[in-house]
Amino acid sequence: MLRLEPRPEPSKAMSIASPLIALAITVVIGTILFVLLGKDPLRGLAVFFVEPVKSMYALSELAMKATPLLLIALGLAVCFRSNVWNIGAEGQFILGAIVASGIAMLATKDTGNWFFLPVLLGGIVGGMAWAAIVAVLRDRFNANEILVSLMLVYVAAQLLNYLVYGPWKDPQGYNFPQTITFYKATQVPRLFGTYRVNLGAIGALLAVGAFWILLFRTYAGFQLQVGGLAPAAARYAGFSSRRALWTALLLSGGMAGLAGGLEVAGPLGQLTPHVPAGYGFAAIIVAFVGRLHPVGIVFSAILMSMFYIGGELAQSRLGLPKSLTGVFQGLLLFTLLACDTLIAYRVRWKPAVKKGAAA
């Protein structure tokens, strides 16, 4: 019989190297997958790991994809470190996009270029409001935040569909389910004129520094982490678990809502049913691959955005389904969990005891 036995002291070096090992295993499995699909594995890997970084335009698109993943994962890292399992960042992302769009549609031709600021603020408020529902149900009724936050994703998606197919539908949009195209005043300024990457990328990097300070240089961050690692010790020290719950969820929801606002006020320029791109779920992988550390999350967000771009290129250049993106994301998470398990436990072979042997 194979059994898992806890190691006396898991290796810190292996814990740091675990994401790199998981990535290497993912690449090996991906190579085998390309061979089984009858595609050149070198060309397939190049689509995922070379094409997204081969030019300035590619790098700008990479930064644009990485920005929402980075923002959402930063908020989720605070939640997970606080032992609050917010799995519904996708729903908070959608609500942020909805509220931001509602504000954007108030703009007129004469609106100043500053109007993107209240649009993004609306996104933050929308995400926080959706996360607050989870906090209320967990705080007042002890509901499971995993189930509540996940189910609210589908409620948010249905609300989005109702709006773009109904009252917010563009009357001149040839019956497509979409809002009007937002005025330029509502759009986040681009960093470079010819590329789509905008100020959101700079804001995301500033958020990395802010969250690092919060988690590792403030008393509030210390309270959150102690509450997550040792709830009994936190209660003994007088830390409020209720405050930690609300702080973590509102921060996480606000970051997801900000990502949603940046999406509609940036590359999309309108609200459509295709706003939910799976960023909220992918950011969970980003947070864990980044070891719930703001700096590590930067690199894992870049890696995950490479998977998104690679999946799109594989569809157009190799004739493979776009779902290949999800396959690579799942492989990375699965191999990371496997590596972490073997870091914390050792596999032992224990001979099976035959019946009657004891007699």
| Mean pLDDT of each 10-residue bin along the chain, 359 residues long | 84 89 94 93 93 93 96 97 95 98 94 94 98 96 96 97 96 93 93 90 97 95 83 80 92 98 94 93 95 96 94 90 88 92 87 60
* pLDDT recorded at residue 211: 97
Give yes or no for a contact between 153 and 97, defined as CB atoms under 8 angstroms apart: no
Closest CA to 130 of 253, 248, 265: 253
pLDDT at residue 359 in the model: 47
81 neighbors 224 (Cβ within 8 angstroms): yes
Identify the pLDDT of residue 355: 62
The pTM (predicted TM-score) of the whole model is: 0.93
Residue written as token pair 């295993």: 25
Reduced to 3 states, what is the DSSP secondary structure of residue 193?
coil
Q: What are phi and psi of 39, to 5 degrees?
A: -110, 155
Put residue 154 in one of left, alpha, beta given phi > 0 → left and psi -120 to 50 → alpha: alpha
- Burial label for 6, CB within 10 Å (0-12, 13-18, 19+), is exposed
Which 3-state string (H, E, C) describes 257-313? HHHHHHHHHHHHCCCCCCCCCCHHHHHHHHHHHCCCCHHHHHHHHHHHHHHHHHHHH
Closest CA to 91 of 145, 46, 40, 140: 145
| Host H or E run for residue 345 | strand 345-349
**Amino acid 239: pLDDT:** 84
Residues 6+ apart with CB under 8 A from 148: 88, 133, 134, 137, 138
Alpha helices in 88-218 (DSSP H): 89-104, 116-141, 145-165, 199-217
**What distance in Å separates the CA atoms of residue 99 and residue 156, rounded to the nearest whole number?**
12
The predicted structure's pLDDT at residue 352? 66
Domain ranges of the chain: 67-186+200-288
The closest alpha carbon to 240, from 139, 145, 148, belongs to 139
